Amino acid sequence: MQHYREMILGFIAELTPYDYVGFALVLLLFVILLVLAILLKHKTFLSLLLFLMGFLTLLGGPFGVYKVVHTALYGATVVLEEEQKLFYTPALLIGGVLTYGGKMDASGCRVIAYVHKTDDNPIKNFVHRLKPYKQGETLLEKTFVRGDTLGVRIAIEPYLYEGNHTITLKAECYR
C-alpha cells in the first residue's frame, strides 16, 4: 500500500500548472453540460445526451488533458535507425535517434521499443499490434532542451522469434 501511495504522490508532484488549468476546464465543462441537461429536462433525449456527454467528459477529460499538455511541453520523437539480430546470442539490438522538441526543459526521458509480430492476415496483424511480442526500454537521465538529439540503443533479450516483425519506438520525457 505504501508503494502505491508513493506512486500517486510522485505523480501529483510532477503535475504542472497547465495540468491544473486543464483539469479545472474539464470540471467547468462538466458543470456546464450538467446545468444544460437540468435546464432541458423536458426534452428527455437531449437532456440525457448532455448528461452522458458531461459524464464522459468528466471520466475521459483529465486523461486527454494530461496527454495533450505533456506532449506539448515534453514532446520527443524517436526515429528507428537500425536493428540487428545477434547470431551468437539470442538478442535484438535496436538503434535510434531521439529528438527533443518540448517547450520546457526535461530532466530525463524513457525510450521504449516495442517488437510486434507481422503476418499476411490483416486480422492477425491487428491482434499482434495490440500486444507486443517483446519490449525493452532505456532511461536517459540527462537534461534535454528543445532541439537536442541523442543516439539511443536498446537491447532486447532473450529474442528467439525468427519471423517478420515491426519495431515501434516511443519516448516519454519528464521534468
Nearest Cα to Cα of residue 37 among 18, 24, 56: 56
Rg (CA), the chain: 22
Q: What is the pLDDT of residue 9?
A: 87
C-alpha cell at 171: 519516448
Q: Phi and psi (nearest 5°) for 78?
A: -125, 130
Same domain, 62 and 93: no
Q: Which domain holds residue 94?
A: 76-174
Same domain, 30 and 103: no
Same domain, 162 and 94: yes
- Nearest 5 degrees, angle CA 168-CA 170-CA 173? 170
Same domain, 87 and 164: yes
Span 12-47, pLDDT tens digits? 888 889 999 999 999 999 999 999 999 998 999 999
Here the CATH number for the domain that contains residue 154 is 2.60.40
Q: What is the pLDDT of residue 164?
A: 86
Q: What is the C-alpha separation between 29 and 55, in angstroms, rounded? A: 10
pTM above 0.85, yes or no: no
Same domain, 165 and 89: yes
pLDDT tens series, the chain, 175 aa:
888 888 888 888 888 899 999 999 999 999 999 999 999 989 999 999 999 999 999 999 999 999 999 888 888 999 999 999 888 888 889 999 999 998 998 888 999 999 998 888 889 888 888 888 889 999 999 899 998 999 999 999 888 888 888 899 999 998 8
Q: What is the pLDDT of residue 89?
A: 86
Query: 13, 40, 73 — which closes off a domain?
Result: 73
